[in-house]
């Protein structure tokens, strides 16, 4: 966007600084600047990722498979690298009737922030534990992703411990 502002300022300088005798060159300069502004606007629009470009992973709990849209951060990059090697399988324990928690077996980069979670959120806790929510909580987590369709989510998680497999689509 700063390129766009700079080009607009340049356009103003060119238009204001040109006399009537330089009208042809001013028109040419205005056309060039306008073309540049249009190119920057198109580039800005093109660089915004659409939902189709978002990275997804599969979350399997027993016979149920869910799709999660992943966040864009260093922890997710590290998790994706792990899943590229092999699916990540975690034994998860029920905690307080609203989440399942399990050790990842390694630490990932964190960017923790105070987070209000909701059902379907997948987060990193303490850098080395994955937490999946079927309720809500507020704590300091690194967001990893969110389940796209929660149909059957609570039923799949059940009331006890579960084995969850995370893999790339």
User: Is residue 132 within a helix (H) or strand (E), and if so which, with residue range?
Assistant: strand 129-133
Q: What is the pLDDT of residues 2-37, one digit of tens each?
A: 444 344 444 443 444 544 444 455 555 445 544 544
Strand 121-125, strand 64-70: pairing: unpaired
Strand 129-133, strand 113-116: pairing: unpaired
Q: What radius of gyration, in Å, describes the C-alpha atoms of the chain? A: 25
Looking up tokens 């939902």 gives: 51
What's the pLDDT score for residue 44? 42
Say if CB 78 and CB 109 are below 8 A apart.
yes
Report residue 52's pLDDT band, with 50, 70 and 90 as the boundaries.
low
Q: What is the pLDDT of residues 56-104, one digit of tens each?
A: 999 999 999 999 999 999 999 999 999 999 999 999 999 988 999 999 9
Looking up tokens 């001013």 gives: 26
CA–CA separation, 49 and 54 (whole Å):
7
pTM of structure = 0.69
- Element counts in the chain: helices (H) and strands (E): 4, 9
What's the pLDDT score for residue 1? 46
């Amino acid at each position: 966007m700063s390129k766009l502002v700079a080009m607009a300022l340049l356009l103003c300088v060119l238009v204001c600084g040109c006399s009537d005798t330089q009208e042809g060159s001013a028109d040419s300069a205005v056309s060039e600047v306008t073309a540049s502004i249009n190119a920057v606007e198109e580039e800005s629009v093109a660089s915004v990722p659409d939902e189709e470009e978002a990275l997804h992973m599969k979350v399997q709990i027993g016979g149920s498979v869910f799709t999660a849209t992943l966040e864009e951060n260093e922890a997710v990059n590290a998790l994706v690298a792990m899943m590229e090697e092999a699916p990540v399988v975690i034994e998860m324990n029920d905690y307080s009737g609203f989440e399942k928690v399990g050790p990842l077996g390694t630490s990932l980069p964190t960017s923790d922030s105070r987070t209000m979670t909701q059902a379907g959120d997948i987060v990193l806790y303490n850098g080395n534990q994955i937490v999946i929510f079927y309720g809500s909580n507020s704590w300091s987590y690194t967001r990893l992703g969110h389940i796209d369709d929660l149909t059957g989510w609570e039923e799949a998680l059940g009331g006890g411990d579960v084995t969850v497999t995370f893999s790339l689509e």
